[in-house]
Amino acid sequence: MTLKILLNGARGRMGRAIQRAAESVGHEITAALDMGDAPERVIDGCDVAIDFSFHDATVALARAAGASGTPLVIGTTGHNSEEKEAIREALAPVPAVWAGNFSIGINLLYYLTEKTARILGLDYNPEVLEMHHRHKKDAPSGTAEGLVRVLRQAYGLAEENVAHGRHGLTGERPRQEIGVHAMRGGDVIGDHTVYFAGEGERLELTHRASDRSVFALGALRAATWVRQQAPGIYDMQDVLQLRDTP
Ligand code: NAD
C-alpha cells in the first residue's frame, strides 16, 4: 500500500534515511518539513506523519495530527515530562506509534531478554555491554538503558541494583545485580549484548546495527500498521505483535 507521508526533520540523518527507504518501498513523501515549517498547513491529505526531528518540535506536530485526524509515528527522543504530557493529550483522537528504537532486531532483543531473564533467573548473572562510535555523547545508550529496564522488571530489582561499570576493589559480584558497560570507538552504529553468565555455561544475546536504514524501515512498517489501529499510543512491541506472545 502506497502511503502519502508528512516527514518532520526531513534534512536530518534519519530524515534522509527515511526518504531513501520510502522511495525504495514505493511510498511518497508529500510534505518534507524541517525547522521553521508549520505542519498544520500541509498535514491535510497526508495518510500518516513521521517525526524524527528534535524534542521541542513534536508537540506542534502532535497537535496538528490530532486536529486533522492523521496517525503519527514518533521516533524523536529526549522529550521532557511536560512535552510528553502535551503529546499524549494532543494525540487522544488518533492512533500513534511512539518508540525510542524502531529497529526490528532491537525490539526482538527486548522481548528475548525479558523471556530469558524470567526463564533463567538470577543464577545466570545478567550483564549488558554496548558499543557505539566515538562521537556519541551519552552513555550508556538509551537502548542499553531500555534493556536494563526490561531486566530490572523481570527480576524485580531496583535502580540501586544496577552497576555502571566496575573499578578497583569492588568485592564479589552480588547476586542481585545487573552490570552495564559502554565501549566507544570508530564508526560503530550500535552493538548491544546481554550476557546471562551461569556456572558452566553462558548465554549471549547480541544485536549489531550496521545501517541507519533499519530504523527507517521499522518506522515505515509502523506507519503502515498504525493506520489500521484505534486511537491510542502504541510502541514497536505492538507493531511486531510481541506484546502478548507466550
Ligand atoms: P539530526 O540532528 O541529524 O536531524 C534532526 C533534524 O530535525 C534536523 O534536520 C533539524 O534541522 C530538524 N529540526 C530541529 N528542530 C526542528 C523543528 N522545530 N521542526 C522541524 N525540524 C526540526 O538527528 P537524527 O540523527 O536524524 O535524529 C533525529 C531524532 O531521532 C533524534 O531525537 C534521535 O535521537 C532520534 N532517533 C530515533 C531513532 C529511533 O529508532 N527511534 C533512531 C535514530 C534517531
Domain residue limits, the chain = 4-102+212-239, 104-209
Assigned CATH class of 104-209 = alpha beta
- Which pLDDT belongs to residue 37? 96
User: Ligand 1: which of 19, 35, 41, 101 to mutate, judged by most atoms within 8 Å of the beta carbon?
Assistant: 35
Residue 48 identity (one-letter amino acid) = V
Choice between 145 and 174, residue whose per-residue pLDDT is larger: 174
Catalytic-role residue among 132, 181, 192, 207: 132
Q: Is the pLDDT of residue 6 over 80?
A: yes
| Residue 137 pLDDT grade (very low, low, confident, very high; cuts 50, 70, 90) | confident
| Residue 246 pLDDT grade (very low, low, confident, very high; cuts 50, 70, 90) | very low
- Which pLDDT belongs to residue 169? 97
Distance CA 132, CA 152 (A): 23
Answer for the pair 175, 111: CB distance below 8 angstroms, yes or no: no
Mean pLDDT of 133-148: 88
With a pLDDT cut of 70, the percent of the chain lying above it is 99
- Which pLDDT belongs to residue 244? 62
CA atoms within 13 A on the CB side of 178: 26
Mean pLDDT of 163-168: 97
Does the beta carbon of 101 lie inside 6 Å of ligand 1? yes
Does the beta carbon of 12 lie inside 6 Å of ligand 1? yes
- Which pLDDT belongs to residue 181? 98
3-state secondary structure (DSSP) of residue 10: coil
Task: Tell me the per-residue pLDDT of 173-232, one tens digit each, with 9 for 90 and over.
Answer: 999 999 999 999 999 989 999 999 999 999 999 999 999 899 999 999 999 999 999 999
Contacts of residue 14, defined as CB under 8 A and 6 or more positions apart, other chains included, come to: 52, 75, 212, 215, 216
Residue 132 designated active-site:
yes
Nearest residue to 50 via CA among 219, 189, 182: 219
Residue with cell 499510543: 233
Mean pLDDT of 63-74: 98
Task: Tell me the per-residue pLDDT of 41-60, one tens digit each, with 9 for 90 and over.
Answer: 999 999 999 999 999 999 99
Q: Is the pLDDT of residue 8 over 60?
A: yes
Tell whether domain 4-102+212-239 is in CATH 1.10.150.530.
no
Residue 136 designated active-site:
yes
Residue 223 identity (one-letter amino acid) = A
The alpha-helical segments, DSSP class H, found in 121-228 are 142-155, 213-226
Mean pLDDT for the chain overall: 95
Nearest residue to 20 via CA among 233, 240, 232, 214: 214
Q: How many CB atoms lie within 10 A of CB 171?
A: 7
User: Ligand 1: which of 11, 14, 18 to mutate, judged by most atoms within 8 Å of the beta carbon?
Assistant: 14
Mean pLDDT of 31-37: 97
Does the beta carbon of 75 lie inside 6 Å of ligand 1? yes
Cα dihedral 95, 101, 104, 109 sign: negative
